[in-house]
Structure 1
Amino acid sequence: MPVHTTHGPEGNQGRGVGLGLALVSAVAFGGSGVAAKPLIEAGLEPLHVVWLRVAGAALVMLPLAVRHRALVRRRPVLLAGFGLLAVAGVQACYFAAISRIPVGVALLVEYLAPAILLCWVRFVQRRPVTRAAAVGVVLAVGGLACVVEVWSGMGFDALGLLLALAAACCQVGYFVLSDQGAGAGKEAPDPLGVIAYGLLVGALVLTVVARPWTMDWSVLAGTARMDGGSVAAWLLLGWVVLIATVLAYVTGVVSVRRLSPQIAGVVACLEAVVATVLAWVLLGEHLAAPQIAGGAVVLVGAFIAQSSTPAKPSDGPVAGGSGAGGSGDAEGVLSAPESGA
């Protein structure tokens, strides 16, 4: 699936297409939690839902893995790390988190990923961080304090918040690993191939951890409750696999090739908005006014943090990124700068 970056007079049209694809990706990723949570509440374990999502997407992407089989020999460490962190780690921690705390809160906690990544850039890689980026980190942390209502003694489940934070850390690992494949020109690994193998690795790891043979498969033949209504479980699973995983990853990868990192980061921030609104409408997860305001501050801080991080010398990728979980999903940094998950 060749993807070309557009330049010159035809660039405007290419950027328009990229913007539309990025929007589709953000909406698709944002809908993963609201489709998965009813399955969890219907009787499936969070890890079983993660396994179904990743294994199903891996089967769909299998032809791309066959096409890019040379990556196994050229980039085995990158593929293994991507599968463990960007696929298995992010998905498992996020889905476990939404089983204990609201979808919107879990996703907003994941938006601490740019702040954590900036700490990595500053203290591990010892690269300079701009003052604006530091301000973005402070805003993100302050906004998160409003979301979790620290003044009332952390009104949400502590383990759920820790799991969401673990998902953010896994996204940081994704950005660091993705940085290894960028800036190599024609030798850069094809992002679609890396995603395909990442899903395969993630599915293998999750098979051992989730033990799907112990899953109650009868749940998929029944219905799940969504804010008082009933939806076929297989329909929700199909949405999670085809829309919130395969479509979300592929459109995200293609869009980031056509957009600047700043524009991709702005659009990626819509994922949290979409997830919160859908959780409100479909799951009845209402947030108080201070939490909504805090969520807006988190998004603003995340955007400032990712867009203000200095690029490497020699035109390397932007070190910061906009995170997103449910999905798990940061998908465009493998051969272009970065995109939100």
Structure 2
Amino acid sequence: MAVMTNDIRSRRLRSGLLVAVASAMSFGLSGPLARGLMDAGWTAAAAVAVRVLVAAAVLAPIAAIQLRGAPGLLRRNAALITAYGLLAVAGTQLAYFNAVRHMEVGVALLIEYTAPIAVVGWLWARHRERPGAATVAGGLIGILGLILVIDLRSGLAASWAGIAWALAAMIGAAAYFVLSAQGAGSLPGTVLAAGGLTVGGLTLLAAGAAGLVPLAAATNPVAFQGFTVAWWVPVLLLGTVTAAFAYVSGIAATRLLGSRLASFVALFEVLAALSFAWLLLGEAPRALQLLGGALILVGVVVVRRGEPAQISAAAAETAAPSR
């Protein structure tokens, strides 16, 4: 029995890590794509709204199939879906895209992804899940990496508006990891993603109609580093790759790994965003940022070493027969 449980834990961990990295890489592409749209005349709110609504349209048919035979599932999870849409989708992305308007993509994302600290603090305060020594050590190493990547000499102090927006995105990102773990075993991840994306997109449209956020789009060609594409190309990629796939895979990874470990693995998004910003926007990372990126990777590995008990418990629960 112990051998079977360990085997399940190992498979669950491997699957969770692979899915989490794929999700992080997909999310990392969103900032550079959105930056291109905004440089072509789109507002941040419009880029977010189109991104999440396209993703909701892609996921809606799958979610509808999963809801067959369970008419009360949406009603029972209405609060979770609404919170997910308002905090994890609309709030996080609007804050992040506004941060990108005031600072480099990589810097904005790195401030946002101090979110694992908030996740650890929340789980400790709310659920008494005290972090172990490895988790604390890995977190400190990862944050040191973040500080190096930010590189205060690069002019960060001059963009206080960007810092404020990025910190708001951090709060939303922490909510994303906490809420994504909810409903496991009862609410399919695609349903949570589709519902949350719909709520988030409609909320942004309503805010724009009320004049709370500026909504403006353009059909101008979108220029990136060395090439130009039609406006609908980044829109399609934002909706399908950086939203539909990224959110569904992110929910799956969080349910496999738990909120704490998933939030640290998601720091790979930082490296992906730096790479995509370099390729698409010409924002080449500095040597100090590369060193910080290496420390982030080390921090994730150390945190992973401190999380086996949580994964074991989740695997054992999965292995138990249902009633």
Of 46, 49, 73 in structure 2, the residue corresponding to residue 48 of structure 1 is 46
SS of residue matched to 2:130? coil
Alignment partners' CA distance in 1, 2:81 and 2:272: 30
1:176 aligns to what?
178
Higher helix share: 2
Q: Which string of whole-angstrom CA distances, capped at 9 and with x for unpartnered residues, describes residues 9-58 of structure 1? A: 99999988877655543332221112111101111111110011011111
Matches within 5 A, 1:46-195: 46-67=44-65, 68=67, 70-150=72-152, 154-155=156-157, 157-182=159-184, 185=185, 188-195=186-193
Distance 1:271 1:212, change over 3 A: farther
Distance 1:266 1:119, change over 3 A: closer
Counterpart of 2:279, as a letter, is V
1:232 aligns to what?
230
Q: Which string of whole-angstrom CA distances, capped at 9 and with x for unpartnered residues, describes residues 274-307 of structure 1? A: 2211111220112221122123323433554466
1:223 aligns to what?
221
Alignment partners' CA distance in 1, 2:122 and 2:8: 38
Counterpart of 2:235, as a letter, is L
Identical amino acids, percent of aligned pairs: 35
Q: Which string of whole-angstrom CA distances, capped at 9 and with x for unpartnered residues, describes residues 232-255 of structure 1? A: 111111111112111223444556
Alignment partners' CA distance in 1, 2:24 and 2:288: 24
Alignment partners' CA distance in 1, 2:228 and 2:107: 24
1:294 aligns to what?
292
Q: How many residues are aligned here?
A: 307
1:37 aligns to what?
35
Of 282, 305, 311 in structure 1, the residue corresponding to residue 280 of structure 2 is 282
1:28 aligns to what?
26
Of 234, 243, 246 in structure 2, the residue corresponding to residue 245 of structure 1 is 243
1:323 aligns to what?
none
* Contact 1:109 1:161 (C-alpha < 8 Å) held by counterparts: yes
* Contact 2:88 2:175 (C-alpha < 8 Å) held by counterparts: yes
Alignment partners' CA distance in 2, 1:226 and 1:250: 28
Alignment partners' CA distance in 1, 2:279 and 2:52: 26
Q: Which string of whole-angstrom CA distances, capped at 9 and with x for unpartnered residues, describes residues 45-87 of structure 1? A: 1111001101111122222343425332111111111111111
Give the superposed CA RMSD. Answer: 3.7
CA displacement at 1:161 relative to structure 2: 2.3
* Contact 1:22 1:268 (C-alpha < 8 Å) held by counterparts: yes
* Contact 1:147 1:292 (C-alpha < 8 Å) held by counterparts: yes
Gaps of 5+ in 1: 1-5, 318-334, 337-341
Gaps of 5+ in 2: 319-323
Alignment partners' CA distance in 2, 1:295 and 1:17: 23
Counterpart of 1:298, as a letter, is I
TM-score normalised by length of structure 2: 0.79
Q: Which string of whole-angstrom CA distances, capped at 9 and with x for unpartnered residues, describes residues 190-228 of structure 1? A: 1111111111111121112234997444x1x22012125
1:315 aligns to what?
313
TM-score normalised by length of structure 1: 0.75
Counterpart of 1:75, as a letter, is N
Counterpart of 1:297, as a letter, is L
Alignment partners' CA distance in 2, 1:224 and 1:212: 28
SS of residue matched to 2:102? coil
